[in-house]
Structure 1
């Protein structure tokens, strides 16, 4: 190997067919065999670095993807349960009569109790069924 400026000379062997293809590419104006090989090597080394990143962080990212998929699935189940409950309640519970102030007051009290329980559960980090955050 000999050095010229910041470049280092290398001697290498290529298969005949590959050498012929390299020579054909190097016939273009402003293109040399050295620049083609240097760019190809740079691309290959960069790709190797990407593979190392994939090997290092891939399992963690895959695990996070599985957790997110489980959260999404649980959220869809919760939304479906809520939708079925609302549909059932709207279909089976008659509306409160216009002048029934007692029933309206009861409804407000029940709603306040409900919202207080939701806030309490989230503040304490527990779910309705006592299993963590409910998911």
Structure 2
């Protein structure tokens, strides 16, 4: 059902509406109806944006911090690996005992990482350093 409305428009807006309505299949009512519907939809979108703006800003800051931490971690790891590879000589293939010790150390390392991930503890957490001193 359509409701009749009596509106007053500025002369320049009325002229522009008249020019748009001269095309085939166009009429003033449909043009005004569609324009008003679009405007109302954008207004509702703006209200939703205002509601989420603070939360999205906080999430963006948190994500930027995580990005920075990952970059520091990757750079530290790459420097350590480069240092380790340049300082440590490779083990000879015939030295089975040294390779067994290396495998055992690597397994211990993996177990420690798995344990800390499961417990939710971090080596670089400042609170962990305080607890270690106790």
TM-score (norm 1): 0.88
Q: Which position in structure 2 is the counterpart of 1:123?
A: 118
TM-score (norm 2): 0.89
CA distance in 2, matches of 1:68, 1:130: 18
Note the residue ranges of structure 1 that are not aligned, 5 or more in a row: 1-5
CA distance in 2, matches of 1:23, 1:130: 69
Matched, 1:53 2:48: yes
Instruction: Give the RMSD, CA atoms, in angstroms.
Output: 1.6
The 5 Å alignment of 1:1-135 reads 6-131=1-126
- Secondary structure, aligned partner of 2:116: helix
CA distance in 2, matches of 1:99, 1:32: 90
Q: Which has the higher contact order (CA 8 A, sep 6+)?
A: 1
State the Cα deviation string for residues 22-65 of structure 1 (Å, max 9, x = none).
11111112211111110110010000011011011121122112
> Once the 2 structures are TM-superposed, how far is the Cα of residue 131 of structure 1 from its aligned partner?
4.3
Higher relative helix content = 2
How many residue pairs match? The answer is 128
CA distance in 2, matches of 1:18, 1:41: 14
Runs of at least 4 residues off by over 2 Å? 129-132
Q: Which position in structure 1 is the counterpart of 2:130?
A: none
CA distance in 2, matches of 1:29, 1:82: 68
